[in-house]
Amino acid sequence: MSNWEHILYEEPAEGIARIVLNRPATLNAQDTQFLYELNDAYDRATQDERIKVIITAANGKHFSSGHDLRERDHLETQDKYKPVTNATGYRRDGAEGRQAREEEIYTGFCERWRNIPKPTIAAVQGRCVAGGLMLCWPSDIIIAADDALFEDVTVMLGIPGVEFFMHPWELGARKAKEMLFAGAQVNAEEARQLGMVNRVVPRDRLEDETLALAVKIAQRPSFALKLAKQAVNNVQDAQGRHAAQTAAFAMHHLAHSHAMEVHGLPVDPGGVHKGVAKNYAPGDEPWRKKA
């Protein structure tokens, strides 16, 4: 059994693991501990031969408000965890340390989760903001409650998009630009029409409908499911998804470095003080290096 603080692990039916984001007091905001616990839960489900399908769900009104920008001493926190990617140099100064950290717990984790060799389903309700997209986009299937609302506020913060840059693949180029340029919110039905969401269901049916689909998928042979997933993911990568992701991540860190040079923070504080980052307390400066 795990001793996770922010993640629950359930087996609601034979062959099904349900991983639940359980930090509702912060609207499931993601700090370092949260992300390593979530990654551990995915590893547990992946390595369990009994599990054929993995569901990601969330407790509370909202799926996730994104990165927890209030986190302090994240470098020290990260030292508690064994790295799961090849990124190194978290404690180094400047862009090198910041990029290494995000290569590990943001793009690194998202790529790992996208390539889990088992079908994955995200069940999304309420707000799914910025970094919250990075918790549902790696999934193979997304089931949205009818109150789900997707948005990326990072351009207001001076950043070209969240670290897992799937916007054009998930929304199409023009809607991706509207989301990024204007902060356009995408509701559940529009997300379904765009192909980002598979199904929209009533909020009170989200858990049952997601589990029913997972049970249906689990009736298929596990090896065939693994190969089918790889085949579809390979299509996106052959089209240039991974190369585009790598380029976007480099732009993301150019923007961080620019903000550090101009503002002394890795983001433009103007967007924060306009209330863009809902889980950020105005006046706090969590990224400033301690003396």
> Residue 53 pLDDT > 70, yes or no?
yes
> Residue 291 pLDDT > 70, yes or no?
no
CA–CA separation, 165 and 248 (whole Å)? 7
> Residue 188 pLDDT > 80, yes or no?
yes
Give the model's pLDDT for residue 70. 79
> Residue 277 pLDDT > 70, yes or no?
no
Give the model's pLDDT for residue 286. 39
Sign of CA dihedral 275, 278, 282, 286: negative
CA–CA separation, 244 and 23 (whole Å)? 32
> 56 forms bridges with which residues in the sheet?
19, 122
Identify the CA nearest to 30 among candidates 46, 8, 1, 7: 7
Give the model's pLDDT for residue 287. 36
CA–CA separation, 281 and 265 (whole Å)? 15
Q: pLDDT by residue (tens digit) across 87-101?
A: 888 878 888 888 988
Burial class (CB in 10 A: 0-12, 13-18, 19+), 5: exposed
Sign of CA dihedral 289, 28, 241, 267: negative
Q: What's phi and psi for 13, nearest 5 deg?
A: -155, 165
Identify the CA nearest to 103 among candidates 159, 49, 48, 164: 164
Whole-prediction pTM value?
0.90
Domains (ranges, CATH) in the chain? 7-273 (3.90.226.10)
CA–CA separation, 63 and 56 (whole Å)? 10
Give the model's pLDDT for residue 227. 98
